[in-house]
Structure 1
Amino acid sequence: MDWHRFETTLARQTMAGGESMSSEMFEAITTENARYAVYALAHRPDRTLSELADFVVGFGAMRSGTIATPADHENVRIRLHHVVMPKLDAAGYVAYDRDERTIDAAHRYGTVNETLGLNG
């Protein structure tokens, strides 16, 4: 799965009106960190929130050429927990257990990955 293909496919879906993807899913991936999270989850959906935050912070730092700090990790972890994961859960992409902070694929996981070009 390559990031450039994901961005290109997402842009095409957005311009085409995204008929094949729910409006909840489009809303869930409006931020860069949310898109990084979906990209990571497409590779492996069974993660803890902390593992996902590690990926999102590291991927963002790599793309921007910066160094991530522990404060960056904590800020992303909090945003994922309170905003991103509940939206991805509501969209049926993942099942997020808020108490255990664990993530698993949900009923729309495969369809969304296929639509976004994240299935191979």
Structure 2
Amino acid sequence: MDWHRFETTIARQQLAGDESMPSDVFEILSTEDARYAVYALAHDPNRTLSQLADFVAGFTAMRSGTIATPADHENVRIRLHHAVLPKLDATGYVTYDRSNQTIEAAPRQETVNAALGLRG
């Protein structure tokens, strides 16, 4: 699925009050970092924090027409580690091992991906 269609699907489901998407997931998807992370994890759920931060920082830079810097990567890594991944873990979308900084698919990921129109 392409990014534009992913964002359109999220917006359409939010406006329609889609019951198939739990409200806790919509809340998490309100941030750009979280949307980029979910998009990346839907295609490759087993990553390290650093790999995910690379994707999110790079995708952010690409969409804004800039180049990601090491500082951008570090800022994204911190936001993912302290905010996004713990929330995705709490909803059952991923399992985030904070000490090893590894991410794995969790039982709810397939259901959420299907509701968002994402396929791995």
TM-score range, shorter chain: over 0.9
Residues 54-90 of structure 1: per-residue CA shift (max 9 Å, x gap): 0000001011101111000000000000000011111
Match of 2:17 in 1: 17
Distance in 2 (CA, whole Å) between partners of 1:112 and 1:92 is: 10
Match of 1:66 in 2: 66
TM-aligned CA deviation for residue 108 of structure 1: 0.8
1:29 aligns with 2:29: yes
Residues 24-81 of structure 1: per-residue CA shift (max 9 Å, x gap): 1111111111100000000100000000000000001011101111000000000000
Runs of 4+ in 1 over 6 A off after TM superposition: none
Match of 1:44 in 2: 44
TM-aligned CA deviation for residue 119 of structure 1: 1.6
Distance in 2 (CA, whole Å) between partners of 1:99 and 1:109 is: 22
Distance in 2 (CA, whole Å) between partners of 1:57 and 1:18 is: 30
Query: Aligned pairs, how many?
Result: 120
Structure 1 portions without partners, runs of 5+: none
The normalised TM-score by structure 1 is 0.96
- Report which stretch shifted further, 4-13 or 47-56: 4-13
Distance in 1 (CA, whole Å) between partners of 2:44 and 2:34 is: 15
The normalised TM-score by structure 2 is 0.96
1:28 and 1:91 in contact (8 A); partners too: no
Give the secondary structure class of the aligned counterpart of 1:96.
strand
Match of 2:89 in 1: 89
